[in-house]
């Protein structure tokens, strides 16, 4: 027999890819998913040999570096749970900050909003549910990602209109926008060497990487299209690589956007750039 607390510590110590506090959180998440157990149950005793096979199988996947969110098929974002798969990026805390910024700065009703590179749909779904009666659109190049995004919108009762499009070679399928938002690929190919294998091996490279020689590729294209798709005084919001704040700011200014500002995340890193269409 082993109690919950001891099992968490034992399993966490075997997750060599993670620092101990994070490893403990991952094990707790797995136990809650399979057994409904939480920290308040830490004195409950378990018989290891009687643990469900599905739990043990998922623990082996966790040991091999597969992200917990993909193992259990869902991830938290802005107070809700979203389905995820290997075809979508796992929603991250920094993107919650982007969503919060948009909500805070745009209280007016009936805004037309487009998210480019939607992945799980976490951005447009959250904006629809949190803002004042917006009309929300989203697009992605990946059909499998759009299936996940559509399922999330249906499950969370968010009215989002989805499009499949290759933004580098096609135009934006909607116009008269008040807000254009994107968390596009922004990690240079050379950055792969320093990345954690649980990201590199299990999340879609299509949504992560850009050519070393042109890391602003998506920002430039989206900003150019935004000049036509946005209403006068419409706003553009980007999540950015921390190294590219000033470069994205200059890009937007050079294209004629005004009030272009770099915004730091909670860790003090350049993480968002916002501008206004003339």
Domain with residue 252: its CATH number is 3.40.50.150
The number of domains in the chain is 2
Task: Answer yes or no: is 69 within a domain.
Answer: no
pLDDT for 164: 98
Task: Answer yes or no: is 70 within a domain.
Answer: no
Question: For the chain, what is the largest distance between any 2 Cα atoms, rounded to a whole number of angstroms?
Answer: 68
> Could you tell me the CA-to-CA distances from 2 to 47, 48, 51, 59, 260 in Å, in that order?
6, 7, 11, 17, 57
Q: Is 21 annotated as a binding residue?
A: no
Q: Is 118 annotated as a binding residue?
A: yes
Q: For residue 206, with 0-12 CB atoms within 10 Å meaning exposed, 13-18 middle and 19 or more buried, which class applies?
A: middle
pLDDT for 153: 99
In 141-203, where does DSSP find H-type helix?
Answer: 143-155, 197-200
Q: Is 186 annotated as a binding residue?
A: yes
How confident is the model over 4-19, as a mean pLDDT? 93
* DSSP conformation letters of 133-176: S-EEEEEES-HHHHHHHHHHHHHTT--EEEEE--TTTS--S--S
Residue 272, token pair as written in the block: 């968002």
pLDDT digits (tens, 9 = 90+) for 190-235: 777 777 777 777 878 777 788 878 899 999 999 999 999 999 999 9
Task: Answer yes or no: is 71 within a domain.
Answer: no
pLDDT for 97: 98
Task: Answer yes or no: is 72 within a domain.
Answer: no
**38, 64, 90: which is the final residue of a domain?**
64
Mapped onto helix, strand or coil, the DSSP state of residue 155 is helix
**64, 94, 117: which is the final residue of a domain?**
64
- Same domain, yes or no, for 207 and 121? yes
Q: Is 65 annotated as a binding residue?
A: no
Residue 163, token pair as written in the block: 């499009």
Task: Answer yes or no: is 164 within a domain.
Answer: yes
- Same domain, yes or no, for 20 and 87? no
Q: Is 88 annotated as a binding residue?
A: no
Model confidence at 47, in pLDDT bands (50, 70, 90)?
confident
- Report d(CA 62, CA 57) in Å as an integer: 9
- Same domain, yes or no, for 131 and 157? yes
Q: Is 185 annotated as a binding residue?
A: yes
- Same domain, yes or no, for 56 and 90? no
- Same domain, yes or no, for 104 and 238? yes
pLDDT for 170: 96
Residue 77, token pair as written in the block: 């974002």
- Same domain, yes or no, for 109 and 238? yes
**30, 64, 98: which is the final residue of a domain?**
64
* DSSP conformation letters of 20-31: HHHHHHHHHHHH
Q: Are 65 and 58 in contact (CB under 8 A)?
A: no
In the chain, where does DSSP find H-type helix?
Answer: 4-13, 20-35, 53-63, 68-72, 93-105, 122-130, 143-155, 197-200, 217-229, 245-254
Mapped onto helix, strand or coil, the DSSP state of residue 178 is strand
Q: Is 178 annotated as a binding residue?
A: no
- Same domain, yes or no, for 106 and 235? yes
Residue 253, token pair as written in the block: 């200014």
Q: Is 184 annotated as a binding residue?
A: yes
pLDDT for 71: 97
Quote the mean pLDDT of the chain: 93
pLDDT for 42: 59
Selection from 61, 88, 64, 58 nearest residue 75 by Cα: 88
- Same domain, yes or no, for 95 and 197? yes
- Same domain, yes or no, for 48 and 83? no
Q: What proportion of the chain, given as a percentage, has pLDDT over 90?
A: 79
- Same domain, yes or no, for 18 and 117? no
Find the domain containing 28 and state its range.
2-64
- Same domain, yes or no, for 185 and 267? yes
- Report d(CA 94, CA 214) in Å as an integer: 23
Q: Is 4 annotated as a binding residue?
A: no
Sign of the CA dihedral with 74 first, then 154, 238, and 212 last: positive
Is pLDDT of 41 > 80?
A: no
Q: What proportion of the chain, given as a percentage, has pLDDT over 70?
A: 97
Residue 168, token pair as written in the block: 């580098």
pLDDT digits (tens, 9 = 90+) for 150-188: 999 999 999 999 999 999 999 999 999 999 999 998 887
- Same domain, yes or no, for 108 and 11? no
Model confidence at 43, in pLDDT bands (50, 70, 90)?
low
Model confidence at 124, in pLDDT bands (50, 70, 90)?
very high
């Amino acid at each position: 027999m082993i109690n919950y607390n001891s099992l968490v510590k034992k399993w966490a110590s075997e997750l060599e890819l993670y620092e101990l506090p994070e490893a403990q959180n991952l094990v707790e998440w797995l136990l809650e998913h399979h057994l409904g157990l939480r920290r308040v149950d830490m004195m409950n005793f378990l018989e290891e040999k009687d643990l469900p096979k599905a739990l043990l199988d998922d623990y082996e996947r966790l040991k091999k570096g597969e992200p917990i969110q993909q193992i259990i098929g869902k991830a938290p974002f802005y107070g809700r749970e979203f389905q995820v798969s290997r075809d979508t990026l796992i929603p991250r805390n920094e993107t919650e900050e982007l969503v919060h910024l948009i909500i805070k700065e745009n209280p007016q009703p009936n805004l037309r909003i487009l998210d480019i590179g939607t992945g799980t749909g976490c951005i447009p779904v959250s904006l629809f549910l949190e803002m004042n009666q917006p009309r929300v659109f989203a697009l992605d190049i990946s059909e499998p990602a759009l299936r996940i995004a559509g399922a999330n919108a249906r499950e969370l009762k968010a009215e989002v209109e989805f499009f499949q499009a290759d933004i580098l070679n096609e135009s934006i399928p909607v116009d008269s926008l008040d807000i254009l938002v994107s968390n596009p690929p922004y990690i240079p190919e050379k950055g792969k060497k320093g990345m954690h294998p649980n990201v590199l091996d299990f999340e879609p490279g299509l949504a992560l990487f850009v050519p070393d020689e042109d890391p602003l590729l998506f920002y430039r294209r989206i900003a150019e299209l935004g000049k036509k798709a946005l209403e006068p005084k419409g706003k553009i919001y980007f999540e950015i690589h921390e190294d590219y704040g000033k470069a994205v700011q200059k890009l937007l200014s050079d294209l004629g956007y005004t009030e272009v500002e770099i915004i730091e995340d909670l860790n003090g890193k350049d993480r968002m750039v916002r501008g206004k269409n003339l």
